[in-house]
Chains A and B, each alone.
Chain A
Protein backbone atom coordinates (compact mmCIF):
# COMPACT_ATOMS: atom_id res chain seq x y z
CA UNK A 1 0.00 0.00 0.00
CA UNK A 2 1.32 3.38 -0.97
CA UNK A 3 0.67 6.11 1.58
CA UNK A 4 -0.67 9.35 0.12
CA UNK A 5 -1.31 12.62 1.96
CA UNK A 6 -3.25 15.62 0.71
CA UNK A 7 -1.98 18.76 2.37
CA UNK A 8 -3.69 22.09 2.00
CA UNK A 9 -1.87 25.39 2.25
CA UNK A 10 -3.35 28.67 1.00
CA UNK A 11 -5.90 27.56 -1.53
CA UNK A 12 -9.54 27.23 -2.37
CA UNK A 13 -10.04 23.43 -2.32
CA UNK A 14 -10.52 23.41 -6.08
CA UNK A 15 -7.65 20.99 -6.55
CA UNK A 16 -9.11 18.72 -3.90
CA UNK A 17 -12.45 18.78 -5.69
CA UNK A 18 -10.58 17.85 -8.86
CA UNK A 19 -8.87 14.99 -7.03
CA UNK A 20 -12.24 13.77 -5.78
CA UNK A 21 -13.75 14.24 -9.24
CA UNK A 22 -12.00 11.20 -10.60
CA UNK A 23 -15.13 9.08 -10.10
CA UNK A 24 -14.45 5.41 -10.71
CA UNK A 25 -10.78 6.12 -11.43
CA UNK A 26 -10.30 7.35 -7.88
CA UNK A 27 -11.57 3.96 -6.69
CA UNK A 28 -9.00 2.25 -8.88
CA UNK A 29 -6.32 4.43 -7.45
CA UNK A 30 -7.63 4.04 -3.91
CA UNK A 31 -7.25 0.29 -4.19
CA UNK A 32 -3.54 0.76 -4.39
CA UNK A 33 -3.16 3.79 -2.14
CA UNK A 34 -4.03 4.65 1.41
CA UNK A 35 -5.08 8.24 2.01
CA UNK A 36 -3.28 8.83 5.30
CA UNK A 37 -3.89 12.55 5.63
CA UNK A 38 -6.46 14.90 4.16
CA UNK A 39 -8.11 17.52 6.30
CA UNK A 40 -11.35 17.31 4.36
CA UNK A 41 -11.66 13.59 3.69
CA UNK A 42 -9.71 11.83 6.45
CA UNK A 43 -9.60 12.13 10.20
CA UNK A 44 -5.94 12.74 10.99
CA UNK A 45 -4.36 15.62 12.88
CA UNK A 46 -0.69 15.11 12.19
CA UNK A 47 0.97 14.76 8.82
CA UNK A 48 2.37 11.23 8.96
CA UNK A 49 5.35 9.80 7.11
CA UNK A 50 4.11 9.08 3.58
CA UNK A 51 5.19 8.13 0.09
CA UNK A 52 3.47 10.88 -1.83
CA UNK A 53 2.24 14.25 -0.57
CA UNK A 54 -0.08 16.19 -2.84
CA UNK A 55 0.26 19.77 -1.69
CA UNK A 56 -2.37 22.23 -2.73
CA UNK A 57 -2.00 26.00 -2.39
CA UNK A 58 0.73 28.57 -2.12
CA UNK A 59 2.70 29.48 0.98
CA UNK A 60 1.83 32.64 2.87
CA UNK A 61 5.15 34.16 3.81
CA UNK A 62 3.48 36.29 6.51
CA UNK A 63 2.33 33.19 8.31
CA UNK A 64 5.10 31.12 9.84
CA UNK A 65 2.70 28.24 10.42
CA UNK A 66 2.26 27.98 6.67
CA UNK A 67 6.02 27.89 6.17
CA UNK A 68 6.40 25.24 8.85
CA UNK A 69 3.80 23.01 7.25
CA UNK A 70 5.63 23.29 3.95
CA UNK A 71 8.90 22.25 5.62
CA UNK A 72 7.21 19.44 7.49
CA UNK A 73 5.74 18.02 4.29
CA UNK A 74 9.19 17.93 2.74
CA UNK A 75 10.51 15.98 5.70
CA UNK A 76 7.65 13.53 5.89
CA UNK A 77 7.05 12.72 2.22
CA UNK A 78 9.26 10.83 -0.20
CA UNK A 79 7.69 12.55 -3.21
CA UNK A 80 6.26 16.04 -2.92
CA UNK A 81 3.80 17.04 -5.64
CA UNK A 82 2.81 20.68 -6.08
CA UNK A 83 -0.82 20.17 -6.94
CA UNK A 84 -2.35 22.94 -8.99
CA UNK A 85 -1.37 26.41 -10.06
CA UNK A 86 -1.07 28.01 -6.60
CA UNK A 87 1.44 25.42 -5.43
CA UNK A 88 3.19 25.06 -8.77
CA UNK A 89 3.40 28.62 -10.05
CA UNK A 90 1.60 30.87 -7.61
CA UNK A 91 -1.57 31.03 -9.68
CA UNK A 92 -4.12 33.58 -8.65
CA UNK A 93 -2.31 34.26 -5.36
CA UNK A 94 0.44 35.98 -7.37
CA UNK A 95 -1.85 38.98 -7.36
CA UNK A 96 -1.94 39.34 -3.59
CA UNK A 97 -0.44 42.56 -2.31
CA UNK A 98 -2.06 42.65 1.08
CA UNK A 99 -4.64 45.08 2.41
CA UNK A 100 -7.31 42.42 2.52
CA UNK A 101 -9.87 43.05 5.20
CA UNK A 102 -9.13 39.88 7.10
CA UNK A 103 -6.56 39.88 9.88
CA UNK A 104 -3.85 38.88 10.49
CA UNK A 105 -2.37 40.49 7.41
CA UNK A 106 -1.76 38.06 4.59
CA UNK A 107 0.08 40.03 1.98
CA UNK A 108 2.61 37.82 0.29
CA UNK A 109 2.32 34.38 -1.23
CA UNK A 110 4.88 32.19 -2.91
CA UNK A 111 4.32 28.98 -4.76
CA UNK A 112 5.48 25.91 -2.89
CA UNK A 113 8.09 25.35 -5.59
CA UNK A 114 9.88 28.51 -4.41
CA UNK A 115 9.85 27.55 -0.74
CA UNK A 116 10.86 23.88 -0.63
CA UNK A 117 12.26 21.42 -3.13
CA UNK A 118 9.35 19.92 -4.99
CA UNK A 119 9.62 16.74 -7.05
CA UNK A 120 6.67 17.14 -9.40
CA UNK A 121 4.48 20.11 -10.26
CA UNK A 122 1.06 19.95 -11.91
CA UNK A 123 -0.12 23.40 -12.98
CA UNK A 124 -3.70 24.20 -13.95
CA UNK A 125 -6.51 25.81 -12.02
CA UNK A 126 -7.48 23.23 -11.09
CA UNK A 127 -5.58 20.50 -12.93
CA UNK A 128 -7.93 18.01 -14.53
CA UNK A 129 -8.83 14.87 -12.56
CA UNK A 130 -7.34 12.87 -15.44
CA UNK A 131 -3.99 14.61 -15.07
CA UNK A 132 -3.96 13.99 -11.32
CA UNK A 133 -4.77 10.30 -11.76
CA UNK A 134 -2.14 9.96 -14.49
CA UNK A 135 0.53 11.52 -12.29
CA UNK A 136 -0.36 9.40 -9.24
CA UNK A 137 -0.49 6.24 -11.35
CA UNK A 138 2.83 7.03 -13.01
CA UNK A 139 4.38 7.76 -9.61
CA UNK A 140 3.06 4.42 -8.27
CA UNK A 141 4.55 2.62 -11.28
CA UNK A 142 7.79 4.55 -11.27
CA UNK A 143 7.09 5.73 -14.84
CA UNK A 144 9.73 8.44 -14.85
CA UNK A 145 9.43 9.02 -18.57
CA UNK A 146 5.83 10.16 -18.22
CA UNK A 147 6.66 12.23 -15.16
CA UNK A 148 9.64 14.03 -16.68
CA UNK A 149 7.71 17.16 -17.82
CA UNK A 150 6.17 17.48 -14.33
CA UNK A 151 9.65 17.17 -12.81
CA UNK A 152 10.89 19.93 -15.14
CA UNK A 153 8.03 22.18 -14.11
CA UNK A 154 8.87 21.59 -10.45
CA UNK A 155 12.46 22.52 -11.17
CA UNK A 156 12.11 25.52 -13.48
CA UNK A 157 8.52 26.53 -13.71
CA UNK A 158 7.82 28.73 -10.74
CA UNK A 159 6.15 31.43 -12.79
CA UNK A 160 3.35 31.24 -15.29
CA UNK A 161 1.22 33.66 -17.20
CA UNK A 162 -0.63 33.81 -20.48
CA UNK A 163 2.31 35.85 -21.76
CA UNK A 164 4.35 32.64 -21.75
CA UNK A 165 2.82 31.54 -25.02
CA UNK A 166 3.60 34.95 -26.49
CA UNK A 167 7.18 35.06 -25.18
CA UNK A 168 8.16 31.44 -25.62
CA UNK A 169 6.19 30.45 -28.69
CA UNK A 170 4.78 33.31 -30.75
CA UNK A 171 7.83 35.56 -30.35
CA UNK A 172 10.09 32.66 -31.26
CA UNK A 173 8.10 32.03 -34.45
CA UNK A 174 7.14 28.59 -33.21
CA UNK A 175 3.37 29.14 -32.99
CA UNK A 176 1.47 27.44 -35.81
CA UNK A 177 -1.92 28.50 -34.57
CA UNK A 178 -3.51 25.28 -33.33
CA UNK A 179 -5.58 27.06 -30.67
CA UNK A 180 -4.86 24.53 -27.92
CA UNK A 181 -3.79 27.27 -25.51
CA UNK A 182 -7.11 29.06 -25.96
CA UNK A 183 -9.06 25.89 -25.32
CA UNK A 184 -7.00 25.01 -22.25
CA UNK A 185 -7.52 28.36 -20.55
CA UNK A 186 -10.03 28.05 -17.69
CA UNK A 187 -10.94 31.76 -17.74
CA UNK A 188 -11.11 32.29 -21.50
CA UNK A 189 -8.28 34.77 -21.23
CA UNK A 190 -7.05 33.70 -24.66
CA UNK A 191 -8.76 34.50 -27.90
CA UNK A 192 -7.31 33.56 -31.25
CA UNK A 193 -6.70 36.53 -33.54
CA UNK A 194 -5.43 35.86 -37.04
CA UNK A 195 -4.35 32.41 -35.94
CA UNK A 196 -2.35 33.60 -32.93
CA UNK A 197 -3.18 33.73 -29.22
CA UNK A 198 -4.12 37.10 -27.80
CA UNK A 199 -3.97 37.34 -24.02
CA UNK A 200 -6.56 39.30 -22.09
CA UNK A 201 -4.42 40.16 -19.08
CA UNK A 202 -7.37 41.08 -16.89
CA UNK A 203 -8.68 37.55 -17.15
CA UNK A 204 -5.45 35.62 -16.78
CA UNK A 205 -5.13 33.91 -13.40
CA UNK A 206 -1.58 32.72 -14.11
CA UNK A 207 -2.46 29.05 -13.98
CA UNK A 208 0.05 27.91 -16.59
CA UNK A 209 -2.39 25.65 -18.45
CA UNK A 210 -1.88 27.41 -21.79
CA UNK A 211 1.86 26.97 -21.94
CA UNK A 212 1.97 23.41 -20.61
CA UNK A 213 -0.55 22.34 -23.22
CA UNK A 214 1.21 24.03 -26.12
CA UNK A 215 2.69 21.34 -28.35
CA UNK A 216 5.49 23.71 -29.33
CA UNK A 217 6.86 24.16 -25.80
CA UNK A 218 7.37 20.53 -24.80
CA UNK A 219 6.43 17.41 -26.71
CA UNK A 220 7.55 14.28 -24.82
CA UNK A 221 8.54 11.48 -27.13
CA UNK A 222 6.15 9.00 -25.55
CA UNK A 223 3.21 10.88 -27.08
CA UNK A 224 4.38 9.53 -30.43
CA UNK A 225 3.31 6.03 -29.38
CA UNK A 226 -0.36 6.12 -30.25
CA UNK A 227 -1.31 2.46 -30.08
Chain B
Protein backbone atom coordinates (compact mmCIF):
# COMPACT_ATOMS: atom_id res chain seq x y z
CA UNK B 1 0.00 0.00 0.00
CA UNK B 2 1.38 3.38 -1.02
CA UNK B 3 1.14 5.41 2.19
CA UNK B 4 1.78 8.94 0.85
CA UNK B 5 0.54 9.22 -2.75
CA UNK B 6 2.84 10.57 -5.45
CA UNK B 7 5.46 13.17 -4.57
CA UNK B 8 8.69 14.62 -5.91
CA UNK B 9 10.48 15.16 -2.65
CA UNK B 10 9.95 15.30 1.09
CA UNK B 11 11.86 17.48 3.53
CA UNK B 12 11.73 18.90 7.01
CA UNK B 13 11.35 22.68 7.00
CA UNK B 14 10.68 25.76 9.09
CA UNK B 15 9.78 29.36 8.39
CA UNK B 16 12.36 32.08 8.97
CA UNK B 17 9.67 34.71 9.55
CA UNK B 18 9.50 35.55 13.28
CA UNK B 19 5.92 36.79 13.17
CA UNK B 20 4.86 33.50 11.53
CA UNK B 21 6.71 31.28 14.00
CA UNK B 22 5.00 33.12 16.86
CA UNK B 23 1.53 32.19 15.61
CA UNK B 24 1.95 29.10 13.44
CA UNK B 25 1.04 25.60 14.51
CA UNK B 26 4.29 23.92 13.51
CA UNK B 27 7.01 25.16 11.15
CA UNK B 28 4.68 27.78 9.69
CA UNK B 29 4.92 26.37 6.18
CA UNK B 30 1.34 27.21 5.20
CA UNK B 31 1.39 30.82 6.36
CA UNK B 32 4.86 31.42 4.95
CA UNK B 33 3.96 30.01 1.55
CA UNK B 34 0.85 32.18 1.43
CA UNK B 35 2.67 35.31 2.57
CA UNK B 36 5.44 34.62 0.06
CA UNK B 37 2.86 34.07 -2.66
CA UNK B 38 1.00 37.30 -1.88
CA UNK B 39 4.18 39.38 -1.60
CA UNK B 40 5.61 38.06 -4.83
CA UNK B 41 2.46 38.20 -6.90
CA UNK B 42 2.20 34.44 -7.31
CA UNK B 43 -1.09 34.61 -5.40
CA UNK B 44 -3.65 37.40 -5.00
CA UNK B 45 -5.91 35.71 -2.49
CA UNK B 46 -5.78 32.71 -0.19
CA UNK B 47 -8.46 30.71 1.56
CA UNK B 48 -7.72 30.11 5.22
CA UNK B 49 -9.55 29.08 8.39
CA UNK B 50 -9.91 32.12 10.60
CA UNK B 51 -10.35 31.87 14.35
CA UNK B 52 -13.86 33.14 15.01
CA UNK B 53 -13.29 33.24 18.76
CA UNK B 54 -12.87 30.35 21.18
CA UNK B 55 -11.38 28.24 18.39
CA UNK B 56 -14.47 28.24 16.26
CA UNK B 57 -13.33 28.29 12.67
CA UNK B 58 -14.69 30.25 9.74
CA UNK B 59 -13.38 30.19 6.19
CA UNK B 60 -11.90 33.48 5.01
CA UNK B 61 -10.47 34.88 1.81
CA UNK B 62 -7.27 36.60 2.92
CA UNK B 63 -5.61 39.08 0.59
CA UNK B 64 -2.87 40.46 2.86
CA UNK B 65 -0.05 38.88 4.87
CA UNK B 66 -1.64 40.33 8.04
CA UNK B 67 -4.85 38.42 7.40
CA UNK B 68 -2.86 35.24 6.71
CA UNK B 69 -1.11 35.66 10.06
CA UNK B 70 -4.39 36.20 11.89
CA UNK B 71 -5.62 32.85 10.62
CA UNK B 72 -2.46 30.86 11.39
CA UNK B 73 -2.58 27.89 13.74
CA UNK B 74 -4.73 24.76 13.75
CA UNK B 75 -8.37 24.74 14.77
CA UNK B 76 -9.31 21.14 15.41
CA UNK B 77 -12.80 21.60 14.12
CA UNK B 78 -14.64 21.46 10.83
CA UNK B 79 -14.11 24.57 8.75
CA UNK B 80 -15.79 24.53 5.31
CA UNK B 81 -12.92 26.25 3.51
CA UNK B 82 -14.16 25.40 0.02
CA UNK B 83 -17.47 27.18 0.65
CA UNK B 84 -15.79 30.53 -0.08
CA UNK B 85 -13.93 29.47 -3.21
CA UNK B 86 -16.44 30.97 -5.60
CA UNK B 87 -16.65 34.23 -3.69
CA UNK B 88 -12.84 34.48 -3.84
CA UNK B 89 -13.27 34.66 -7.62
CA UNK B 90 -16.52 36.63 -7.89
CA UNK B 91 -16.45 39.02 -4.95
CA UNK B 92 -12.76 39.42 -4.28
CA UNK B 93 -11.84 39.21 -7.97
CA UNK B 94 -8.91 36.89 -7.25
CA UNK B 95 -7.20 35.30 -10.22
CA UNK B 96 -4.45 33.38 -8.43
CA UNK B 97 -5.91 31.65 -5.44
CA UNK B 98 -4.15 29.64 -2.77
CA UNK B 99 -6.22 27.12 -0.81
CA UNK B 100 -5.31 25.34 2.41
CA UNK B 101 -7.32 22.40 3.56
CA UNK B 102 -7.52 19.01 5.14
CA UNK B 103 -7.00 16.04 2.78
CA UNK B 104 -10.74 15.72 2.19
CA UNK B 105 -10.94 19.39 1.22
CA UNK B 106 -8.01 18.99 -1.14
CA UNK B 107 -9.87 16.11 -2.78
CA UNK B 108 -12.93 18.31 -3.11
CA UNK B 109 -10.85 20.93 -4.93
CA UNK B 110 -9.35 18.36 -7.30
CA UNK B 111 -12.79 17.04 -8.08
CA UNK B 112 -14.19 20.44 -8.91
CA UNK B 113 -11.18 21.20 -11.09
CA UNK B 114 -11.69 18.04 -13.13
CA UNK B 115 -15.51 18.15 -13.10
CA UNK B 116 -16.34 21.85 -12.72
CA UNK B 117 -20.12 21.62 -13.27
CA UNK B 118 -21.01 24.42 -10.88
CA UNK B 119 -17.73 26.32 -10.97
CA UNK B 120 -17.71 28.58 -14.02
CA UNK B 121 -14.30 30.20 -14.55
CA UNK B 122 -13.01 28.97 -11.19
CA UNK B 123 -10.65 26.02 -11.90
CA UNK B 124 -8.10 28.07 -13.86
CA UNK B 125 -7.82 30.52 -10.94
CA UNK B 126 -6.64 27.94 -8.42
CA UNK B 127 -2.92 28.54 -8.24
CA UNK B 128 -1.72 26.55 -5.22
CA UNK B 129 -3.28 23.84 -3.10
CA UNK B 130 -1.72 23.20 0.29
CA UNK B 131 -2.91 20.19 2.24
CA UNK B 132 -2.40 19.60 5.97
CA UNK B 133 -1.96 16.12 7.39
CA UNK B 134 -5.07 14.91 9.16
CA UNK B 135 -6.02 11.85 11.16
CA UNK B 136 -9.50 13.07 12.18
CA UNK B 137 -11.47 16.19 12.88
CA UNK B 138 -14.04 17.21 15.50
CA UNK B 139 -17.39 18.96 15.31
CA UNK B 140 -17.16 22.12 17.37
CA UNK B 141 -19.39 20.90 20.20
CA UNK B 142 -17.21 17.80 20.50
CA UNK B 143 -14.05 19.86 20.61
CA UNK B 144 -15.52 22.12 23.26
CA UNK B 145 -16.44 19.12 25.36
CA UNK B 146 -12.94 17.67 25.08
CA UNK B 147 -11.39 20.95 26.17
CA UNK B 148 -13.84 21.94 28.88
CA UNK B 149 -14.90 18.59 30.36
CA UNK B 150 -11.87 16.40 29.79
CA UNK B 151 -9.06 18.94 30.03
CA UNK B 152 -10.87 21.18 32.49
CA UNK B 153 -10.01 24.37 30.64
CA UNK B 154 -12.44 27.09 29.59
CA UNK B 155 -12.52 27.57 25.83
CA UNK B 156 -12.05 31.33 26.26
CA UNK B 157 -8.71 30.72 27.99
CA UNK B 158 -7.21 28.54 25.26
CA UNK B 159 -4.40 29.96 23.11
CA UNK B 160 -3.31 26.80 21.34
CA UNK B 161 -4.27 23.18 20.88
CA UNK B 162 -2.10 20.43 19.53
CA UNK B 163 -2.11 16.71 18.88
CA UNK B 164 1.16 14.86 19.30
CA UNK B 165 2.88 12.01 21.09
CA UNK B 166 -0.44 10.23 21.53
CA UNK B 167 -1.98 13.12 23.40
CA UNK B 168 -4.33 16.04 22.91
CA UNK B 169 -2.71 19.18 24.32
CA UNK B 170 -4.28 22.44 25.41
CA UNK B 171 -2.27 25.57 26.22
CA UNK B 172 -3.92 28.41 28.16
CA UNK B 173 -3.27 32.11 28.23
CA UNK B 174 -2.19 31.68 31.85
CA UNK B 175 0.72 29.56 30.68
CA UNK B 176 -0.77 26.24 31.78
CA UNK B 177 -0.55 23.05 29.72
CA UNK B 178 -3.15 20.31 29.94
CA UNK B 179 -3.07 17.00 28.10
CA UNK B 180 -5.31 13.97 27.82
CA UNK B 181 -4.76 10.68 26.06
CA UNK B 182 -5.85 10.83 22.43
CA UNK B 183 -7.93 7.74 23.10
CA UNK B 184 -10.28 9.82 25.23
CA UNK B 185 -11.03 12.10 22.28
CA UNK B 186 -12.05 9.33 19.85
CA UNK B 187 -15.78 9.32 20.78
CA UNK B 188 -16.03 12.97 19.71
CA UNK B 189 -14.55 12.50 16.24
CA UNK B 190 -16.53 13.37 13.18
CA UNK B 191 -17.83 10.00 11.98
CA UNK B 192 -17.35 10.96 8.32
CA UNK B 193 -13.60 10.86 9.06
CA UNK B 194 -13.82 7.12 9.57
CA UNK B 195 -14.24 6.48 5.84
CA UNK B 196 -11.31 8.72 4.92
CA UNK B 197 -8.10 7.01 3.86
CA UNK B 198 -5.98 10.06 3.08
CA UNK B 199 -3.57 11.15 5.81
CA UNK B 200 -1.05 13.29 3.95
CA UNK B 201 -3.32 15.18 1.51
CA UNK B 202 -2.18 13.08 -1.39
CA UNK B 203 -3.69 15.31 -4.07
CA UNK B 204 -2.27 18.64 -2.87
CA UNK B 205 0.55 20.56 -4.56
CA UNK B 206 2.29 20.77 -1.18
CA UNK B 207 1.37 18.73 1.91
CA UNK B 208 2.57 19.55 5.38
CA UNK B 209 2.16 18.40 8.96
CA UNK B 210 4.01 18.17 12.21
CA UNK B 211 4.49 14.43 12.32
CA UNK B 212 7.94 13.23 11.36
CA UNK B 213 9.77 16.43 12.22
CA UNK B 214 11.05 17.84 15.53
CA UNK B 215 8.91 20.33 17.51
CA UNK B 216 8.60 23.62 15.70
CA UNK B 217 9.46 22.02 12.36
CA UNK B 218 7.20 20.59 9.66
CA UNK B 219 7.34 17.64 7.34
CA UNK B 220 6.72 18.82 3.79
CA UNK B 221 5.84 16.80 0.70
CA UNK B 222 6.36 18.60 -2.59
CA UNK B 223 4.14 16.84 -5.09
CA UNK B 224 3.83 18.86 -8.29
CA UNK B 225 6.21 20.76 -10.60
CA UNK B 226 4.43 24.01 -9.78
CA UNK B 227 4.93 23.41 -6.06
CA UNK B 228 8.56 22.51 -6.55
CA UNK B 229 9.24 25.78 -8.31
CA UNK B 230 7.55 27.87 -5.61
CA UNK B 231 9.15 25.91 -2.77
CA UNK B 232 12.64 26.21 -4.25
CA UNK B 233 12.20 29.95 -4.69
CA UNK B 234 11.04 30.31 -1.08
CA UNK B 235 14.19 28.55 0.07
CA UNK B 236 16.45 30.61 -2.26
CA UNK B 237 14.86 33.85 -1.05
CA UNK B 238 15.43 32.88 2.57
CA UNK B 239 11.81 32.37 3.68
CA UNK B 240 12.36 28.77 4.71
CA UNK B 241 15.14 26.71 6.21
CA UNK B 242 15.25 23.10 5.14
CA UNK B 243 16.79 19.88 6.44
CA UNK B 244 16.88 16.50 4.73
CA UNK B 245 14.13 14.35 6.22
CA UNK B 246 16.67 11.56 6.77
CA UNK B 247 18.54 13.75 9.25
CA UNK B 248 15.63 14.60 11.56
CA UNK B 249 13.87 12.64 14.25
CA UNK B 250 11.45 10.87 14.39
CA UNK B 251 11.56 10.98 10.58
CA UNK B 252 9.44 9.67 7.74
CA UNK B 253 8.98 6.25 9.32
CA UNK B 254 6.46 7.65 11.79
CA UNK B 255 4.50 9.44 9.06
CA UNK B 256 4.40 6.19 7.13
CA UNK B 257 3.19 4.28 10.15
CA UNK B 258 0.37 6.74 10.84
CA UNK B 259 -0.63 7.01 7.19
CA UNK B 260 -0.87 3.24 6.95
CA UNK B 261 -2.76 2.97 10.22
CA UNK B 262 -5.33 5.42 8.94
CA UNK B 263 -5.69 3.61 5.64
CA UNK B 264 -6.03 0.18 7.18
CA UNK B 265 -8.39 1.21 9.95
CA UNK B 266 -10.65 3.19 7.66
CA UNK B 267 -10.61 0.62 4.83
CA UNK B 268 -11.93 -1.78 7.44
CA UNK B 269 -14.68 0.67 8.36
CA UNK B 270 -15.53 1.07 4.66
CA UNK B 271 -15.76 -2.72 4.36
CA UNK B 272 -17.95 -2.87 7.43
CA UNK B 273 -20.28 -0.22 6.05
CA UNK B 274 -20.54 -2.08 2.76
CA UNK B 275 -21.54 -5.23 4.61
CA UNK B 276 -24.30 -3.34 6.35
CA UNK B 277 -25.47 -1.98 3.02
CA UNK B 278 -24.53 1.59 3.88
CA UNK B 279 -23.16 3.84 1.14
CA UNK B 280 -19.43 4.61 1.10
CA UNK B 281 -17.59 7.25 -0.88
CA UNK B 282 -16.57 5.75 -4.23
Binding site for B on A (CB under 8 A): 18, 21, 122-124, 127-131, 134, 149, 168, 172-180, 182-186, 192, 194-195, 207-210, 212-220, 222-224, 226-227
Contacts and interface: CB of A to CB of B under 8 A. Distances in A.
A226 B115 contact: no
Contacts of B203: 223-224, 226
A207 B193 CA distance: 28
Contact of B117 (A194, A209, A224): A209
B117 A172 contact: no
A180 B193 contact: no
Contacts of A223: 107, 110-111, 114-115, 203
B269 to A, nearest CB: 11
Contact of B119 (A128, A179, A224): A128
A185 B105 contact: no
B118 A226 contact: no
Nearest to A186: B118
B118 A128 contact: yes
Contacts of B6: 226-227
Interface string B199-228: 000110000000000000000000111000
A51 B201 CA distance: 41
Given A130-B120, A192-B80, A216-B281, A178 B114 contact: no
Contacts of B121: 128-130
A122 B120 CA distance: 13
Interface residues of B, number: 55
A39 B122 CA distance: 29
Contacts of B280: 174
Describe A's contact surface by its main secondary structure: loop
Contact of A218 (B59, B85, B123, B282): B282
Contact of A195 (B77, B110, B223): B77
Contacts of B101: 178
B219 to A, nearest CB: 19
B235 interface: no
20 contacts: A128-B118, A130-B116, A134-B115, A178-B82, A180-B82, A180-B109, A180-B111, A182-B80, A185-B118, A192-B83, A194-B139, A212-B115, A213-B117, A213-B118, A215-B107, A215-B281, A219-B282, A223-B110, A226-B224, A227-B224
A59 B85 CA distance: 34
Nearest to B86: A183
**Closest 7 A/B residue pairs (Cβ):** A179-B80, A179-B83, A209-B118, A195-B78, A184-B118, A177-B78, A128-B120
Given A178-B108, A195-B78, A215-B111, A183 B119 contact: yes
B195 interface: yes
A208 B115 CA distance: 13
Contacts of B112: 180, 184, 213
Nearest to A146: B114
Nearest to B129: A226
Contact of B278 (A134, A172, A179): A172
Contacts of A186: 118
B1 interface: no
B83 A180 contact: yes
A21 B121 CA distance: 10
B170 interface: no
B15 interface: no
B127 to A, nearest CB: 14
Contacts of B140: 194-195
Contacts of B225: 227
B63 interface: no
A179 B192 contact: no
Contacts of A127: 117-118
B192 A174 contact: yes
B117 A219 contact: no
A130 B119 CA distance: 8
Contact of A176 (B85, B119, B193, B279): B193
Contacts of B123: 130
Contacts of A168: 279
Interface in B67-100: 77-87
B32 interface: no
Nearest to A208: B117
B81 A173 contact: no
A175 B85 contact: no
